[in-house]
Amino acid sequence: MTTQGGPTGLSERALGPDLARGFMLLFIALANSHYFVGGHAYFGGFPTAGSPVDRGLGLLIATFVDGRAFPMFGVLFGYGVAQIVRRQREAGKEWWPIRRLLWRRSLVLVVLGFLHAMLLYIGDILAAYGVLLFLGVWALRWKDRWLFVVATVVLVLTALPSGDSLAGSAEGPDPSMLPATFLGQFPDRLVVQPFIAGLGWIGFVTPFLIGLWAGRRRILERPAEHLTLLRTTGLLGLTIAILGALPVSLVVGGAITRPSDHAVTIFGPLHDATGVFGGFGYAALIVLIAHRMGDRQGPVTVAIAAVGQRSLTCYLAQSVVWAVVFTPYLLDLSDALTTTTTALLAVATWLATVVLADRMRRAGYRGPFELLIRRITYQPWTISDTRSRNSGSRA
C-alpha cells in the first residue's frame, strides 16, 4: 500500500516506464564507458586509431546511444515529477507544500550528485537533474502551450552552431576523470563538477518539459489510449535521431574523414538536438512493447523492469565499476581496453545490475538509494500529517 500523498508503491507502478528506465541503463553504460578509453587522437569521445571492429562499434554507439539515452531519462524524470504532483494534489496538498517537497528532492539529488562526482564519476548527471528540478517546479502550473513553447525554444538554442558539444570533441579523457591519486582528484573535480551541474541541466529542459506534459495525460501509463501518438513518436523520433547522428557517427566509424572545424560546430549540436527526439522515440517504443506484452511478462522482462524501479542504485553501481576499472590508482585499464572491450564491460556491468535488481525485487527491497531519496523527500510530510491527525483527533 502507498500512504496518501506518498511515493508510488511497487505494485502500483506501470510496466512501460520502468522497462524503459531499466533497458536504457544499458545505453547509459555504453554511453559513459567509452569516454575512458585511452588513445592518441579522438573524435566524439572515441579513439580514432581503433580496429575496424572498434570503429564499427563506435559508429553504432554514436548513432543509437550517445546523446539519445539521457534525453529519454529526462522525459521520464519530468513524467515522474508530474506523477508526484498528481498524487499530492489528489491527497489534498496545496501548490506551495508540493514545491517544498520537490525542492527537498532536488536538494538530495544535488548533494548525492556532488558526492558521486567527487568519489566515483565526474560525469555525474544527478546534480544537474537536481538543479533542473529546483528550477522546474515553477513550470508545474504552466499551461500546455507554454511547456511546448519553452521546450521548442530551448531545443532550437541548443541546436545552434557551437564548439562545446562532446559529439564533435577532439579531446580525450578529462584529467578529472582519471586522477592519479585519491586526494589529488578533489581539486580538479571541485572545479569541474559545479560547471557540469550548473550548465548540464540546460540540455534536459526540453525532454523534462515534454515529460511533464506527458505525465499530466498519463500517456506512458495508459498507452492503449494513445497508440497513434506513441507509434508516430517512436517512428519519427528514432528516424530523426538516426539521421541527425550520421554526420558525427560516420566520422567515428571511419566511413568519412573528419570535416572542417566549422562543420563540426554544426554537426555536434545537430547530433545532440536530434538525440532529444531519439529519447522521445525510445520511450514511446519501449512503452509500446510493454503494452504489447500485456500480462505476458517473462522473467527477463520482470528483471529489467526491476532495474528501472531501482534506476538510481543501478546507475551508481555502474560508476563503482568505472572507478575501479579505469582509475589510475586502482586497476588503471584505460589504455589496456579498447572501444570493443569497454563496450563488453558495459554490457556485463548492466547484466550484473539486472541480476542485483532482480534479487532485490525477490526480497521485496526497493533499493538503498531509492529508500534514501524517498525518506528525505516524504518523511517531513509524514511527520507533519501525523501531527495534524493527532491534533485533529484531540480536538
pLDDT at 387 over 60: no
What is the per-residue pLDDT for 153? 97
* Band of residue 383 on the pLDDT scale cut at 50, 70, 90: very low
What does the block give as the cell for 211?
515529460
pLDDT at 391 over 70: no
| Residue 347 Cα distances to 69, 151, 226, 282, 331, angstroms | 15, 33, 32, 18, 19
* Band of residue 377 on the pLDDT scale cut at 50, 70, 90: confident
* Band of residue 291 on the pLDDT scale cut at 50, 70, 90: very high
pLDDT at 388 over 80: no
pLDDT at 1 over 90: no
pLDDT at 367 over 70: yes
For residue range 120-140, what is the model confidence (pLDDT) as tens digits?
999 999 999 999 999 999 999
* Band of residue 11 on the pLDDT scale cut at 50, 70, 90: low
pLDDT at 2 over 50: no
For residue range 193-244, what is the model confidence (pLDDT) as tens digits?
999 999 999 999 999 999 999 999 999 999 999 999 999 999 999 999 999 9
What is the per-residue pLDDT for 373? 92
What is the per-residue pLDDT for 295? 77
For residue range 55-72, what is the model confidence (pLDDT) as tens digits?
999 999 999 999 998 999
Which of 29-33, 108-112, 251-255, 292-296 is predicted with the least confidence, judged by mean pLDDT? 292-296
pLDDT at 395 over 80: no
What is the per-residue pLDDT for 10? 55
What is the per-residue pLDDT for 362? 95
What is the per-residue pLDDT for 32? 94
Give the side-chain half-sphere CA count within 13 A for 153: 6
Residue 309 near residue 26 (C-beta atoms within 8 A)? no
What is the per-residue pLDDT for 163? 87
Has this prediction a pTM greater than 0.85?
yes
pLDDT at 326 over 80: yes
pLDDT at 281 over 90: yes
Instruction: Taking residues 240-259, report their average pLDDT.
Output: 95
